[in-house]
């Protein structure tokens, strides 16, 4: 069973979130693999920095570490959807006074939304409407 995030703010830092995203996408991985992906995705990151941060994340219970072989393999110990949901809720509360509709209006107004995306949104809204009756 995955555990809740155990740090002072209750949420991962930007660098911790980048590591979690690699693990959520690729599954259990070595520090070398995570570091290589981060270097491909973002910017130059030193292996020792990635190692230290992943060790700290394990102490915070964000990651678990399998030490049964020579290469330690890290696993995300927090659920992707739970983590993203908590971050999104804080974002909406902070920037949009808790209004999901204000966020949606801003998103739809700022980006060119394809017909396919608009149809998916309409379908989701119809499902929510049906479920709430």
Asked if residue 39 lies in contact with residue 49, where contact means CB atoms within 8 angstroms, the answer is: no
Please tell me the number of Cα atoms within 13 Å of 47 on its side-chain side: 5
Residues near 18 by beta carbon (within 8 Å), at least 6 away in sequence: 38, 41, 42
Q: Is residue 25 included in any domain, yes or no?
A: yes
Asked if the structure places residue 20 within a domain, the reply is yes
* Residue 10: pLDDT band with limits 50, 70, 90: low
pLDDT of 7 strictly over 70 = no
The chain-wide mean pLDDT, for the chain, equals: 87
Two structure tokens written together for 68: 């049964």
- Residues 90-112: tens digit of each pLDDT: 999 999 999 988 888 888 877 78
Can you tell me the distance from the alpha carbon of 77 to that of 5, in angstroms, rounded to the nearest whole number?
8
Structure confidence at residue 81 (pLDDT)? 93
- Quick check: is 125 in a domain? no
- 3 has pLDDT over 50: no
Structure tokens at 119: 């149809």
Structural domain range at position 33 = 1-98
**Within a domain: 41:** yes
* Position 117 in a domain: no
pTM here? Answer: 0.73
Domain count, the chain: 1
Please write the tens of the pLDDT for every residue from 40-60.
987 789 999 999 999 999 999
CATH number of the domain to which 37 belongs: 1.10.10.10
Let me know if residue 69 belongs to a domain. Answer: yes
């Amino acid at each position: 069973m995955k555990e809740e995030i155990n740090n002072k703010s209750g949420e991962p830092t930007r660098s911790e979130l980048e590591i979690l995203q690699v693990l959520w996408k690729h599954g259990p991985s070595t520090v070398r693999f995570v570091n290589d992906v981060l270097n491909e995705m973002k910017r130059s990151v030193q292996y020792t920095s990635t190692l230290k941060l992943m060790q700290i994340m394990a102490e915070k219970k964000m990651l678990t570490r399998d030490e049964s072989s020579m290469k330690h393999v890290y696993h995300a110990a927090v659920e992707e959807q739970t983590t993203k949901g908590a971050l999104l809720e804080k974002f909406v509360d902070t920037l949009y006074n808790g209004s999901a509709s204000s966020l949606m209006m801003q998103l739809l107004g700022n980006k060119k939304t394809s017909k396919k995306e608009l149809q998916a949104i309409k379908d989701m809204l119809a499902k929510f409407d049906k479920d709430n009756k």
